[in-house]
Amino acid sequence: MRFELKPSQAKYSDQELLADIQRVAAECAPTPLTQKIYDARGSASSTTLRSRFGNWATVLRKAGISTLAAARVHYTDQQLLDDLRRVNQELGDSPLTPSAYEDMGVCQARVLVRRFGSSWLDVLRVAGIATTRCPTRTEPEGLLSDIRAVATRLGTKAITFDDYANNGGRFSTVPFRRHFGSWRNAVEAAGLELRRPLLRRIADEELFA
């Protein structure tokens, strides 16, 4: 039976979240469980899962879904390339590095290297992804300006990454971690506060930080 998790104010146990991941993975098998699929069919959000457990590959491993074995056996070349292109699109102007892919993709970067060549550059070439990106929009001030813009739209001085991501934020967690070390640090650098959700002893962003 499917349990219902309430919106982001609710207190999620690790066990509830992992059980929900396993449910969605079973429902969509043999299609790889991507963040987009989980967001459409899961009871929580992929942002909450990454904040709680780490990058998406780690989320799947915590749920007992082997990203290495599954990729070798179940993921076709086309599925892996499509997932790579999806992550590339979601990153916007941020470069698609192995660590950035592992943060948002369905498997570890080395799976793709083994499948498509001998280096990450080989992987990008096979996927038809340019190996250079314009860094202008992901300079620190551009990132801070985007946080402030979302906070202004929401009419708040306190914001979580869920608030940012679900209300028009243009960037993943990757550039914020790269430039500021954590979402908390980025929020403070923007002159804002980290909103602490009610009914939680530990906020997801504290674990993410």
Alpha-carbon span 8 to 40, nearest angstrom: 16
Residue type, 51: S
pLDDT in the model for residue 2: 47
Q: State both tokens at 63.
A: 């749920």
Inter-residue long-range contacts of 9-16, CB under 8 Å, 24+ positions, other chains counted:
9/197, 9/198, 9/199, 9/200, 10/199, 11/199, 11/200, 11/201, 12/44, 12/48, 12/52, 14/52, 14/53
pTM above 0.75, yes or no: no
The amino acid at residue 42 is G
The reported pLDDT for the residue numbered 191 is 93
pLDDT at residue 185, rounded to an integer: 92
How many other CB atoms are there within 10 angstroms of residue 111's CB atom?
23
Provide the residue-wise pLDDT of the chain in tens; the chain has 209 residues. 444 444 443 567 889 999 999 998 888 877 778 787 888 888 888 888 888 888 887 888 888 886 554 455 567 889 889 989 988 888 877 788 887 887 788 777 888 888 898 788 889 999 998 875 444 446 788 889 889 988 998 889 999 888 887 777 777 777 888 888 888 999 999 999 988 755 444 445 454 55
Q: CB neighbours (10 Å) of residue 66?
A: 14
Tell me what pLDDT residue 139 has: 77
Burial environment of residue 22 by CB neighbours within 10 A (0 to 12, 13 to 18, 19 or more) = middle
Cβ-Cβ contacts under 8 Å for 37 (sequence gap 6 or more):
24, 28, 31
Find out whether 56 and 35 touch, Cβ atoms under 8 Å. Answer: yes
Q: How far apart are CA 31 and CA 23, in angstroms?
A: 13
